[in-house]
Amino acid sequence: MTQDPQDAGKLSFEDALGRLGDTVRALEAGGLPLDDATRLYEEGMKLARVCTEKLSAAELTITRIKTAYGEQMRLVQDSQAGPPS
C-alpha cells in the first residue's frame, strides 16, 4: 500500500478515497508495529488532503458553471419577457 507521496496527487478522487479507506481499515484493525502505523497514518493524511483538494476543485468548477449558465439563463428569460411595462 506504500506509495510515493508525489504519486498521491496523480490519483483520481475515487482511487485516493479507496486507498484512504484501505488505510483507515488497516489502522483500525490494529496490531501494526509503531513504525508501520505511523507510516500508514502519514499516507492517510496525504490521501485525505488529495481528496479534499479534488473535492474543492470540483465544487469550484460547479460554482463557476452555475454562475455562467445562471447568468445566461437570466438573460434569456429577460429577453423572452420583453421590455418592462
85 residues of the chain, pLDDT tens digit each: 455 555 777 999 999 999 999 999 999 999 999 999 999 999 999 999 999 999 999 999 999 998 888 777 776 677 777 666 5
> What's residue 69's pLDDT?
81
List, in order of start, the domains of the chain with CATH numbers: 9-79 (1.10.287.1040)
CA atoms of 44 and 16, how far apart (whole Å) = 9
Which residue, 10, 12, 13, 37, is CA-closest to 25?
37
pTM value is 0.72
